[in-house]
Amino acid sequence: MPTPQHPQPARRTAHPQSTDASPAIAQAFTLLSRRWNGLILMALAKGPADSAQIRERVPGISNRMLTQRLQELTAIDLVAQDVRPGLASRTRYALSPHGNAFLIPLAVLFLWAEDHLPASRPPASDQPAAPGH
């Protein structure tokens, strides 16, 4: 009679918090950690827009910061620009195909934030400690 075989435990992959994180995920976190980037991408998810329209969709951003962030997002091919020549040339911005693909994880992050980081509650570090702690 053959001896029973015991299945080998599944090999575990490195935990996402490992110090051996992939360079790609590190770049993604760097991209999102830069102030305004996520909000600009979400604003462009509503459709192409010029700078003034983006500023309306992202309250509080300065002209200079918006210009800088749009240049950066264009350089990494998340945003495409369409320059319309004429007397009053206008540049319109839209998500590139890569930018549209980035909306999938960004939308998931947005939903998670809505569920777990309510705007009415300050971050945990700003809350007073419970009595007796």
Q: What is the pLDDT of residues 30-75, one digit of tens each?
A: 888 899 999 999 999 999 999 999 999 999 999 999 999 999 999 9
How confident is the model at residue 124, as a pLDDT? 52
Which strand (E) or helix (H) includes residue 112? helix 97-116
List the one residue out of 1, 76, 88, 73 whose CA is nearest residue 35: 73
What digits encode the pLDDT tens for the residues 94-117? Answer: 999 999 999 998 889 888 988 998
* Residue 23 clears pLDDT 70, i.e. is over it: yes
- Give the C-alpha distances (Å, rounded to integers) separating 19 from 11, 16, 22, 23, 33: 19, 8, 9, 11, 18
